[in-house]
Amino acid sequence: MVVSIDKKTAVRMYAKVKAEMQRHLAKMNIAVSKAKDLPAPRPNTFYVYAIECEDGSFYIGQTDNLRKRWEEHRNSRGAEWTAKHSPMRIAHFEEFNTREQAVKREKDLKTGFGRKWLKRQIETGRARQAGEHEKEILREQAQKYENIDMAVVVSQSQNEIADMEEFEIDMRPLRARILNEDLETKFKDPDNNLRIVFVCAMWMTGFDVPNLSTLYLDKPLKNHTLMQTIARANRVYPGKTNGLIVDYIGVFRNLQKALAIYASTKSGDDEIIQDKNELVEILFSTVSKTRQFLKTLELDINDLLKAQDVEKIRLVDVFTNRILQDPPAPSGARRAGEKTKQQYLELAGDAYKYYRAVLPEPKAEDYYHEVTAYKVIASRIREVIDEDTDVS
């Protein structure tokens, strides 16, 4: 939510952000337009495919429509495995003339020898496919931008159409949305594409959106109005570590005064609101603790970060196995391996949580690959645990 100083500013900011997003999207579409498409469905043609997931695992299946099946996996409708493990790309596929041949090949690739052969094929071709992989990521990012909807929510004024023509902005379609659409319900729905709203006075008080994560303030606010406004981003919601308030106009001084007057407890301001730099420091500290924890197991995350594709896959398994090592424990005591695993999963989870919480923050980008590596190892640990459970 963007809170502007007046109606004109709210509308102009909306137009500028939308135009900038469209320019950015156009650049991304140019980049992905040359990406190699999957083969279109043809009569009497069947495919066996392998999908590589974000955590390094694979899903093997067969279909007569590879494009449609990939879209189903991407949208969590393809299979339970890919819905849980974030599919990244179709890493391998083969064509057959009959479904019987495809089904037989699918079974072969799921067995010990066939699965090992498939992994070698994928590892050998990964460097060659890196460019296509990058374009696929761009394609997904472009789709994400295309689906974002934004709106202006301001009260109506008598000369608003003429006022906005001065800035070459047609106010009529914006006003029509406000009058004809239930923008409030859409914005409150976490599954709706309406993600950004530009307001001036409306929706600032008495408007409850628990999943609202970021509030941009470009308007002087004081006392209870300020407290109610910032409360929009301060609600508890699953998966939400904190709300982010971006102060463009210097209302933080007023916020400290308002907290002194309206806070219902004697807790200090630091417990209610933190400077973003403090969250960044927590991220750095958590990453450092995770790194040091691995060193106690004689593991160096830099080895994994510097490794090339095939070696990187091997090292993920090395890290996973070391963390899951289960030396004997005294009778009745908690198993040492269980404790190590739990400590790592908590550290890796915290590192990822705080990394997401401080974005977009340039300082945090330096830790992207390291935090991602911790997340991949954690996913692999859970995958191994699930496999052991299935076997038992």
Q: Determine the Cα–Cα distance for residues 348 and 361; give it in Å rounded to an integer.
A: 19
Range of the domain at 10: 2-25+150-274
- Decide if 246 is inside a domain: yes
154 and 216 together in one domain: yes
Domain check: are 137 and 281 in the same one? no
- According to DSSP, residue 219 is labeled S
Q: Say which residue the tokens 């939400």 belong to.
A: 240
* CATH code, domain carrying 59: 3.40.1440
Q: Are residues 165 and 124 in the same domain?
A: no
CB-based contact 215:244 (threshold 8 Å): yes
Q: Which of 289, 275, 291, 287 is nearest to 354 (CA)?
A: 287
- The answer to whether residues 329 and 233 belong to one domain is no
If asked whether residues 218 and 365 sit together in one domain, one would say no
* Nearest by Cα to 200 from 131, 154, 168: 154
Residue 227 in domain? yes
Predicted pLDDT of residue 258 = 65
- 342: in domain: yes
Domain count, the chain: 3
Same domain membership, residue 213 and residue 285: no
The total of other beta-carbon atoms located within 10 Å of residue 82's CB is 23
Residues 158 and 255 in one domain: yes
217: in domain: yes
Question: What pLDDT is recorded for position 202?
Answer: 84
pLDDT of the residue at 260: 64
Look up residue 231 and give its DSSP letter: G
269 and 155 share one domain: yes
Determine the Cα–Cα distance for residues 303 and 296; give it in Å rounded to an integer: 15
Residue 30 lies in a domain: no
Q: What is the DSSP string of 75-131?
A: TT-S-HHHHHH-EEEEEEEEEESSHHHHHHHHHHHHSHHHHHHHHHHHHHHHHHHHH
Res 233: pLDDT: 77
Peptide bond into 173 cis (omega under 30): no
If asked whether residues 155 and 65 sit together in one domain, one would say: no
Residue 209 to residue 204: CA distance in whole angstroms: 11
User: Beta strand 46-53 with 2-4: parallel, antiparallel or unpaired?
Assistant: unpaired
Residues 21 and 155 in one domain: yes
Residue ending a domain, choose from 98, 115, 146: 146
Find the CATH number of the domain harbouring 12.
3.40.50.300
Task: Indicate the SS3 state at residue 193.
Answer: coil
Domain shared by 155 and 270, yes or no: yes
Domain edge (last residue) among 258, 274, 290: 274
In a domain, 35, yes or no: no
* Residues 190 and 339 occupy one common structural domain: no
> What is the C-alpha to C-alpha distance for residues 87 and 73, in angstroms, rounded to an integer?
7
As a whole number of angstroms, the distance between CA 342 and CA 326 comes to 12
Domain membership flag for residue 32:
no
What are the backbone angles phi and psi of residue 343, rounded to the nearest 5°?
-60, -45
Question: Residue 158 carries which DSSP code?
Answer: T
Residue 333: predicted pLDDT:
42
DSSP states along 233-301: G----TT----EEEESS--HHHHHHHHHHH-SSS--HHHH---HHHHHHHHHHHHHHHHHHHHHTT--H
89: which strand partners?
A: 52
Q: For each successive 10 residues of the chain (392 residues), what is the average pLDDT? A: 77 80 59 54 91 83 91 86 83 89 91 82 60 57 74 89 88 92 91 88 78 84 77 75 78 68 51 72 94 94 84 85 67 59 93 83 84 91 71 44
93-to-48, 295, 306 alpha-carbon distances in Å: 5, 40, 29
223 found inside a domain: yes
